[in-house]
A and B are shown apart, each in its own frame.
Chain A
């Protein structure tokens, strides 16, 4: 069980793709203008990652080393096509908003990175879990970044939720700051870079505090025994 716990912890926190590995920056920066966009693309990516890791792990021994990258990409591309067509069919308005970034999940380096670094060396269950957790870690960052940019830029949270749940969901949009003049910079690309930088700083700060606390607790019993 310890192995699975490690996988979860690495995906969501210690090696978070968005704030630690800094992979998959293209969608992180481009589509996170709202929380809904970030969450949707994040979930789509997580689904692709779990499926591609699960698909590559069983065939890992039969793929010749020299051509493994094209094979992996083909598997990923097939899975992304499925997601792309399904989203077009079931959540069409959202599909229109996310546009080219759904097919582009194929070229998202975090997907290939997990296949290459994890699924090509591990059995199927941990591989699938790793893909899912890394994907959810990315989703977390995308959603958070989207929420912050949306709040600062437009003063709302969950705008665009009607694209997922239909027109009646429009009432769920929270206008947190009434009469907000809008801060366009947060919606524009510079806002994404600044927001991501602040998220990375927060992650590092929390991690440092955690380590400092852990080392203090570790030092405490030693000090008492003397």
Chain B
């Protein structure tokens, strides 16, 4: 029984960030189960780089280092970036991406609360346009791989780029479902044939759909804890479903089903963890709906009609640019004031 006055205080930044990290844990656990422990190395590398970079820039900017480090926002950025990268990416790719996200996209704009773009997505986009080959080289889920690497093998591959004797790169990597779908559609294969290949599961890609489901679970936890509001996830997922559903309904041989789009790529991670970033996203409820719907439309357009297999990063960055405008035009009427 608490005592009056019954004022609810907003949770501090560190509590919010801690809960976001907690909500990512089921996703990470599933990730390890599906792809092996390599992702843990990426996560650790990204976290370490983010904290060091943040501390160095804060020192340069003559700001208090420890309070800003303890708020956990750098760790959230690092984790989101590491989870978006291919799990067996070389170590320097993770380090460069995290450095770019923290130093350029976050601290150069003024640090937490001032960055107009989602730092993790800027880091991802910078890597994608700079190193397209490495960024599209995804390992197969363990159950599908011709040769499954042990944790030490993955460690060697991440740091030394060396595989066990006699194992070619092709044996451990494969096209992601989104990538495969795109190249096969160009070859004019019907969807029904394409999705019969073993890399497709019952929702999205085999293995990766489980990770997406785990993200969904974490997202529901965040909603229940009121860390994020329902507007952005719902509007994003609804738009993506509506668009892909319409196209799928009229030409099921040419356009993949809505559940495939929802559970492939980074859609679930985006819906609950990336698009819901409170700093680079809008604040009014209506603006949140428009913002998330815009990300949904852009993601679908880039995935289906664009050159890249997935479009989450670019969609989020493009909609981040619209946030000041959206917020300005959707200010709710203040009580007692005329419209």
Binding site for B on A (CB under 8 A): 181-185, 188, 190, 194, 197
A184-B130, A185-B129, A197-B108 known; 11 other A-B pairs, CB under 8 Å? A181-B131, A182-B130, A183-B96, A183-B130, A184-B129, A184-B131, A185-B126, A185-B130, A188-B129, A190-B126, A194-B104
CA distance A184 to B126 in the complex (A): 9
A182 surroundings in chain B (CB, below 8 A): 130
CA distance A154 to B126 in the complex (A): 16
Interface string of B87-98 (1 = CB under 8 A from A): 000000000100
Which residue on chain B has the smallest CB distance to residue A187?
B130
A188 surroundings in chain B (CB, below 8 A): 129
Which residue on chain A has the smallest CB distance to residue B133?
A181
Distance from A49 Cβ to chain B, minimum over Cβ atoms (Å): 32
Distance from A40 Cβ to chain B, minimum over Cβ atoms (Å): 26
B130 surroundings in chain A (CB, below 8 A): 182-185
B96 surroundings in chain A (CB, below 8 A): 183
B126 surroundings in chain A (CB, below 8 A): 185, 190
CA distance A197 to B130 in the complex (A): 20
CA distance A194 to B108 in the complex (A): 10
A185 surroundings in chain B (CB, below 8 A): 126, 129-130
Which residue on chain A has the smallest CB distance to residue B100?
A185
CA distance A190 to B125 in the complex (A): 11
CA distance A194 to B104 in the complex (A): 9
14 A-B residue pairs with Cβ-Cβ distance under 8 Å, sorted by A, are: A181-B131, A182-B130, A183-B96, A183-B130, A184-B129, A184-B130, A184-B131, A185-B126, A185-B129, A185-B130, A188-B129, A190-B126, A194-B104, A197-B108
B131 surroundings in chain A (CB, below 8 A): 181, 184
Of the listed residues B96, B108, B126, B129, the one surrounded by the most CB atoms of chain A closer than 10 A to its CB is: B126
Which residue on chain B has the smallest CB distance to residue A188?
B129
Distance from B98 Cβ to chain A, minimum over Cβ atoms (Å): 15
Distance from A177 Cβ to chain B, minimum over Cβ atoms (Å): 12
Interface string of B108-137 (1 = CB under 8 A from A): 100000000000000000100111000000
Of the listed residues B96, B104, B126, B130, the one surrounded by the most CB atoms of chain A closer than 10 A to its CB is: B130
B108 surroundings in chain A (CB, below 8 A): 197
Which residue on chain B has the smallest CB distance to residue A194?
B104
CA distance A78 to B155 in the complex (A): 64
Distance from A28 Cβ to chain B, minimum over Cβ atoms (Å): 19
A197 surroundings in chain B (CB, below 8 A): 108
CA distance A190 to B126 in the complex (A): 9
B104 surroundings in chain A (CB, below 8 A): 194
Distance from A42 Cβ to chain B, minimum over Cβ atoms (Å): 26
Distance from B53 Cβ to chain A, minimum over Cβ atoms (Å): 16
CA distance A182 to B104 in the complex (A): 19
A181 surroundings in chain B (CB, below 8 A): 131
**Closest 7 A/B residue pairs (Cβ):** A184-B130, A185-B130, A185-B126, A183-B130, A185-B129, A184-B129, A188-B129
CA distance A157 to B205 in the complex (A): 45
A184 surroundings in chain B (CB, below 8 A): 129-131
CA distance A184 to B108 in the complex (A): 21
Which residue on chain B has the smallest CB distance to residue A201?
B108
A194 surroundings in chain B (CB, below 8 A): 104
Distance from B81 Cβ to chain A, minimum over Cβ atoms (Å): 15
Q: Which of B191-238 contact A (CB under 8 A)?
A: none
B129 surroundings in chain A (CB, below 8 A): 184-185, 188
Distance from A146 Cβ to chain B, minimum over Cβ atoms (Å): 18
CA distance A194 to B99 in the complex (A): 14
CA distance A42 to B130 in the complex (A): 27
CA distance A197 to B126 in the complex (A): 17
CA distance A68 to B108 in the complex (A): 43
CA distance A184 to B135 in the complex (A): 13
